[in-house]
Structure formats: structure tokens, C-alpha cells
Amino acid sequence: MTTGLVVVHSALILTAFLVMLNGCLRGSAKAGIDAVLSVVWLGLLGAVLIIFGWQSAVLGLALSFVYAAGTRPIARSLARRMLGYRTTLSSDLTAHRSVLVYDGCRTRRPLMGDNRVTD
């Protein structure tokens, strides 16, 4: 019984991670992937409800949000490595000209070489 719960919670962690990763990525299939992952998540919770009882299902539901919050930084980091700077909705470089980057000094410099001082 304990092995089954470990497997189910591992699947819930993986599903939460994939949902968070899909939220950071872009593409035309994003809505479809979200729908499939939601069905998988609901299926896992339904299986827990049938096999292990309602207490385990409620615990799995609550822990799913904890798993999602825990895996979100990892998913964002992976998405940034996969896509580089293109993790925002617009991948146009000119859209990022006004973004300021902290370069380790006390001064902030613009991201794209714009020499105007903005504060």
C-alpha cells in the first residue's frame, strides 16, 4: 500500500512539474498540453480516491499545489535554458530594450545597449 502511494505521489510531482514547465513555454499546442495534463492529474486523483480512500485523495489534492509551488522554480530555470531569453510572450528583442539589468554594481544598465538613463 505504501509503495502505491509513493508511485502515485511521484506521478503527481511529475505532473505538477510538467504543468509548470508548460506554463513557462510558448507554442500553439500549449492549451492542448494543459488539457491533457489536467486530465492526467484528475485521473491520478480519481485513482487515489478509488484505491486509497477519500483522505488520501484530499491529501493528494492539497499536496499537488505544494508540489506545483516546489517545482515551479525548477521548471522556470529549465524553460529559460531551453529557450534562452524567449520565455516571455513576445520574442522580439526590441520589446526588451527598456528592461534594466542589475550588473553586480550599484548602477543599473539597460539590457540592449540603450544608453539613456532611466529611473
Predicted confidence (pLDDT) per residue in 35-94, tens digit: 999 999 999 999 999 999 999 999 999 999 999 999 999 999 998 888 876 555 554 444
Question: Are 23 and 44 members of one domain?
Answer: yes
- 17 with 6, same domain: the answer is yes
Confirm if 44 and 11 have CB atoms less than 8 A apart: yes
Lowest mean per-residue pLDDT among 7-21, 23-37, 46-60: 23-37
Does the pTM surpass 0.75? The reply is no
Residues 71 and 30 in one domain: yes
Structural domain total, the chain: 2
Same domain flag for 81 and 98: no
Same domain, yes or no: 62 and 115: no
- The amino acid at residue 6 is V
Are 61 and 100 in the same domain?
no
Residue 67 to residues 40, 56, 81, 83, Cα–Cα distance (Å)? 15, 15, 21, 24
Q: Which domain holds residue 67?
A: 2-87
